[in-house]
Structure 1
Amino acid sequence: MPFYRDIDTATEAGKRTAERLLRLRRELDAQVPARTLEETLLLATWNIREFGAGKYGGRLPESIHYIAEVVSRFDLVAVQEVRRNLDALNRVRSVLGPYWKCVFTDTAEGSRGNNERMAFLFDSRKVRFGGLAGELVIPPLQDGRRTVGAADQFWRTPFVVGFKCGWSSFSLCTAHILWGSGGGDNPPDRVAEIKHLAQFMRTRALDPDSWSQNIVLLGDFNICDDDDETFKQLTDAGFTVPPEVRQHPSNAPKSKHYDQIAFFENDKRLETTGKAGAFDFFQTVFRDPDDEALYVPDMGQGYETDSNDNPRDAQSKNGYWKKWRTFQMSDHLPLWVELRVDYSNEYLQRKLAED
């Protein structure tokens, strides 16, 4: 469980933090299955908005506690939008405690890369790093008459890491797909990036020499809906998004399916239990409109006046507040799924069948 020793309940902010954490813990208890020692794995993906960028004044200490509390309810979490500055990530790790380990990429450089990193946080008491870790660079691709070189393939390099848990070994590939331009919900460059990623990881899943042929694609794919051309690129490559995952939008307003968890399962040791969700933390922390007035001192002058120094009216202030709180938590909800990792019964049944 996370550490709470630095919360000073003698202060207004500290008291609020403790009260909100209790509320958050109750809601997590109600929505997310309890972690088990051997039977299941709780896998999540979370785009934590500009994590480490310091915009809108940076994250408050209480926000770090709320993020850590959410992360702690899972066994393994893929995180997107970690920035060059690792202070926020390290603050969360400090709250989580020493058993929580992290593996992350270098930053993706240039205007396209946006100084972003990919990361995995995992509880080492249950999840083991398998030794495989690498940023994905795929061979030159033929796109019509044009050859697409490595530098043009991915704006932010996907990150592949191998893990072991229970009876299961699997490679997780996390990505933050470009937004793209034109084409409404299916801009051609976004469609192409998902296609290139999914097709390449399909080859890894079918390669008998791969570290693991169980492949999971997860992260922010900027897919608006599961009937879009963007989503079709995953399924055309042989990946499956479980129905219990597909039913949960993952943006803060719960109107888009930006985040995905897609499986290419080969050895039948990565089955879902039927439980999944997208946890809406704004139901318990930084609630709108209930909590807006509490954070006026923390929001600063930007809450009172716009960029032209004109006073904001109530509607404009509320709009600023709703954006500000996404830089405390995120504009994405953590998407999660529960997996079976104990296959002892199946193994014993096969042993009996051999006689």
Structure 2
Amino acid sequence: MPNYADLKRITDVDKRKRIVRGLKALRAGINAEGGAIPPKTASDTLLLASWNLREFDSGKYRFRDVEPYHYIAEVINRFDIVAIQEVRKSLFPLQQLKRMLGSWWDFLVTDVTLGRSGNSERMAFFYDRRKVDFTGLAAELVLEEAIPAAGRQVQFARSPYVAGFRAGWAYFTLVTVHIYYGEGVPVDARRLAEITALGKTIASNAGDLSSANVYGPEDKPKRDNLLLLGDFNIFNRKDVTMEALTAAGFRVPDALQSIPGSNVTKDKHYDQIAYYKELRSMRPTGRAGVFDFYDCVYREDQEADYAADRQEKPGRSFRDWRTYQMSDHLPMWVEFQVDDSDAYLDELGA
């Protein structure tokens, strides 16, 4: 569980009680009957998630105080590894989360993407070292051929982040992205160009993105698992932006294809998790979803409780304000089986 020591230092008793109620509600929501999110296991499964944490933490409408940090840490703690988008310049938010999550958690983070479209953002991976090992590969993806946009040649608005990990028997390379949004329409030309270039570039260089020296029974190098995840700004799973990924050889696990959208209103499929062609020693268990933390904290029936907190920006609606405390995206997750012990023993005994 996360470190709750900070709760004792909160001198505002009413706020401390509110946070405690919120944490208990989150824990109950996560552990709801039927399992909103499955429990973590010691070694045989991997819970992988992607979460765009809105403006984390730009202070655009008020810097987050200790309350949302507790809630964010509580959610992240349920997973083994989480790709995070929209991290801003300061590393304090990530350092704060690491302290709250515990010494067994660690993070990797990019530098700041410069330029207006980059929005001074970083991308990060948070991972639980009791389950997940970082294998040493970490890089930002640069296109060999730039994308034409508005009469000029451009790179990705925000550089995709590539990193390699191991959990159980599985070696896997994750590529997390925050694709250009552009016009608020289902198919923006530059957004489609970015997704198309991303899929083709990853597919054509899959062998070079291996996170470890993985060898098969004949001592021949074997590509490890390659997964794309993050905020693709895809409006609909059936439009050409999604087709650009599947045409390049990426597959969305079956369990993720039937879940609601990952935006707060659950009608857009901005966030995606997909693997390239096939998986090795890493099999979807059939459990996946998005977790709606607004069922537990910052609920609409709690608006009056936050009247004082909102005085700094009183013109914002509560529904909008709360997205700068938590996020306007819900975390998307999928569970994989990563224990190949039985298959290996069967092979040896054959």
Structure 2 length-normalised TM: 0.91
C-alpha offsets along residues 304-339 of structure 1, whole Å, 9 cap, x if unaligned?
xx4xxxxxxxxxxxx611111000000000000000
Mapped pair 1:102 → 2:107? yes
The residue that corresponds to 2:3 in the other structure is 3
Same amino acid, percent of matched pairs = 46
> Could you tell me how far apart the structure 2 residues matched to 1:210 and 1:320 are?
45
1:62-141 maps to which residues of 2 (within 5 A)? Answer: 62-140=67-145
SS in 2 for 1:230: helix
- Give the match's secondary structure for 2:166: strand
Residue 175 (structure 1) shift = 0.3
Question: Aligned residue for 2:14?
Answer: 12
Distance in 1 (CA, whole Å) between partners of 2:180 and 2:43 is 37
Deviations 1:11-70 (A, max 9, x none): 000011111101100111121101001110000000000001012221121100000000
SS at match of 1:130: strand
| Whole-angstrom CA distance in 1 between matches of 2:229 and 2:330 | 14
SS in structure 2 at match of 1:46: strand
Deviations 1:56-101 (A, max 9, x none): 2211211000000000000000000000012222211111011100
Q: Of 255, 276, 296, which aligns to 2:267?
A: 255
Write the distance in 2 (CA, Å) between the matches of 1:256 and 1:168.
31
4+ long deviations beyond 2 Å: 204-213, 265-268
Aligned equivalent of 2:230: 219
- Residue 253 (structure 2) pairs with residue 242 (structure 1): yes
In structure 2, the gaps of 5 or more residues are 213-222
Supply the distance in 2 between the matched residues of 1:179 and 1:85 (Cα, whole angstroms): 23
Whichever residue aligns with residue 202 of structure 2, its letter is M
Q: Once structures 1 and 2 are overlaid, which stretch shifts more, 207-216 or 79-88?
A: 207-216
Cα distance, 1:200 vs. partner? 0.9
- Larger helix fraction of residues: 1
Matches within 5 A, 1:1-355: 1-8=1-8, 11-30=13-32, 31-140=36-145, 152-181=154-183, 184-206=185-207, 211=212, 212-248=223-259, 249-266=261-278, 268-288=280-300, 290-303=301-314, 306=315, 320-353=317-350
Measured after TM superposition, the shift of residue 185 of structure 1 is 0.3
1:351–1:83 distance in 2 versus 1, CA, 3 Å: same
Residues in 1 aligned to 2:209 and 2:190: alpha-carbon distance in whole angstroms: 31
TM-score by length of 1: 0.89
User: Given that residues 228 and 275 in structure 2 are in contact (C-alpha distance below 8 angstroms), is that contact kept between their aligned partners in structure 1?
Assistant: yes
Does the Cα contact within 8 Å between 2:147 and 2:194 map onto a contact in 1? no
How many residues align? The count is: 333
CA distance, structure 2, for counterparts of residue 217 and residue 234 of structure 1: 9
Structure 2 distance, partners of 1:28, 1:118, is 25
What's the RMSD between the two structures over aligned residues? Answer: 2.0
| Structure 1 unaligned blocks of 5 or more | 307-318
